[in-house]
Amino acid sequence: MKRVTVILASVLVTAAVARAQPVPDVPIPPDTGSGTPDQPPGPGSAEPAQGSGTNAPIPPDIGPADPYPPPPPPKPKKPLPPLYMPEVLTTPTGWLLPAAVLYSKTSLDTGGGVTSDTRVGLGDVAEFGVATTDAVRERTDEVDRSSRIQPYVTASFRLGVAENRLFNGQPGVTLGFRKSFERNHDEFKTRVAELTLVASKHLGKYFAVHVGGAFWDASLEGDLDGDAMTPRTETTLHEFDDPTKHQIRVFGGLEVRPLPRSQILLDLGWAPEFCYSCKLDATEIGLGDDPDSNKIRLKPVLSWGVRYEVARWMRLESGVRLPDIGSANLLDAQIFGQVTFTSWALRRAVDSLK
């Protein structure tokens, strides 16, 4: 009797356990809708019929949620717009840095000049920068050899319209203003300012041309007559007669890309030169000329060289600069090398906030 009880209990427990197991996998026929096989489901038959008994579809077997789901695929990066340099070698171009793009250029030459230029693009329509330049030169008198005043710190702001923005074939146009901080050197105080309007245009895939005009101003303050008895005086470029002759200059440049990552560059610009003791003598002076008008002069600067794009963020440039091509003095030629870094990091950070 006891043995029968044990056998019954075992059978009941086994049956209970077997009943608690899920049904074995049964192949589920494909869902053909609620219609008969001969009739396709109608528009209103998408919802399963409630209480239709065996015709109700079996819900899919949804497993437990994965606690470590794979990361979503990264968003495809927007292709970066082309970046055209804001300067040829020494002269500005009609191209602006794209919005939030950082630009830094450091230059070294055989004349002992060290310069830097840092800029940031503002909203695809403007650009702000702070730079040191070694282009401003000084000399004591006419026979003295000119030397550079450095560092000469300038701030610049440029605004403009990108190439082909307003209409097809439109050149890139920028209006720029560059102004120096006051510089004290050899007991003379000097300042320069430059307003430029420049247009740049690509001519096919391999050429680009830049043409612009500059309106210069500069001031020189100190003991200009060399007489310590008289007080310091100031002379400025805009005080001289005939501003067209003294203040307005045309500049330009060319770019040729014979190789995909290399460009040949050529430009002609202008730079002020201060001559502390220069004075027009009686034979040179014309009607209405200021005798001090040769204390501040603009000298033509010719540069040529090569730009090599080492990486998307780095460019190497080297070439030759003639600080005063008007005097055709080969000895003043300078070999320069410069490295330019550009960064899209700020642009990406700004884009990620949108």
For residue 333, the minimal CB distance to another protein (Å) is 5
User: Of 139 and 179, which has the nearer Cβ to another protein?
Assistant: 139
Looking at 15-23, 79-87, 235-243, 300-308, which segment touches another protein (CB under 8 A)? 300-308
Q: Does 254 bind another protein (CB under 8 A)?
A: no
Q: Does 65 bind another protein (CB under 8 A)?
A: no
| Segments in 205-316 forming alpha helices (H) | 243-247
For residue 324, the minimal CB distance to another protein (Å) is 14
Q: Which of 294, 323, 281 is nearest to 145 (CA)?
A: 323
User: Of 81 and 112, which has the nearer Cβ to another protein?
Assistant: 112
For residue 220, the minimal CB distance to another protein (Å) is 27
For residue 290, the minimal CB distance to another protein (Å) is 31
Q: Which of 128, 157, 188, 308 binds another protein (CB under 8 A)?
A: 308
Q: Does 326 bind another protein (CB under 8 A)?
A: no
Tell which positions 103-142 bind another protein, by CB under 8 A: 110-112
Q: Does 211 bind another protein (CB under 8 A)?
A: no
For residue 265, the minimal CB distance to another protein (Å) is 10
Q: Which residues share a beta bridge with 106?
A: 116, 339
The 3-state DSSP class for residue 175 equals strand
Q: Which of 274, 221, 267 is nearest to 87 (CA)?
A: 267
**What is the number of other CB atoms lying within 10 angstroms of the CB of residue 337?**
14
Q: Which of 140, 170, 334, 343 binds another protein (CB under 8 A)?
A: 334
Q: Does 43 bind another protein (CB under 8 A)?
A: no
Q: Which residues share a beta bridge with 29?
A: none
Q: Rounded CA gap, 87 and 107, in Å?
A: 13
User: Of 198 and 322, which has the nearer Cβ to another protein?
Assistant: 322
Query: C-alpha distances in angstroms, 128 versus 159, 180, 200, 270?
Result: 9, 14, 19, 21
Q: Does 327 bind another protein (CB under 8 A)?
A: no
Q: Which of 305, 309, 300 is nearest to 337 (CA)?
A: 305
Q: Does 331 bind another protein (CB under 8 A)?
A: yes
The DSSP output letter for 26 is: -
Q: Does 311 bind another protein (CB under 8 A)?
A: no
Q: Euclidean distance between the first and final Cα of the chain, in Å?
A: 82
The 3-state DSSP class for residue 101 equals coil
Q: Does 40 bind another protein (CB under 8 A)?
A: no
Q: Which of 189, 200, 191 is nearest to 163 (CA)?
A: 200
For residue 338, the minimal CB distance to another protein (Å) is 11
CA atoms within 13 A on the CB side of 54: 2
Q: Which residues share a beta bridge with 302?
A: 268, 322
User: Of 277 and 334, which has the nearer Cβ to another protein?
Assistant: 334
For residue 322, the minimal CB distance to another protein (Å) is 9
Residue 130 burial (10 A CB sphere; 0-12, 13-18, 19+) = middle
User: Of 55 and 110, which has the nearer Cβ to another protein?
Assistant: 110
CA atoms within 13 A on the CB side of 231: 2
Q: Which of 159, 280, 320, 325 binds another protein (CB under 8 A)?
A: 320
Residue owning tokens 């004290």: 184
Q: Which of 55, 230, 262, 327 binds another protein (CB under 8 A)?
A: 262
Q: Rounded CA gap, 25 and 293, in Å?
A: 102
Whether the link from the prior residue into 151 is cis, omega within 30° of 0, is yes
Tell which positions 138-197 bind another protein, by CB under 8 A: none
Q: Does 307 bind another protein (CB under 8 A)?
A: yes
For residue 301, the minimal CB distance to another protein (Å) is 15
Interacting residues with another protein (CB under 8 A): 110-112, 258-259, 261-264, 304-309, 316, 318-320, 328-331, 333-335, 337
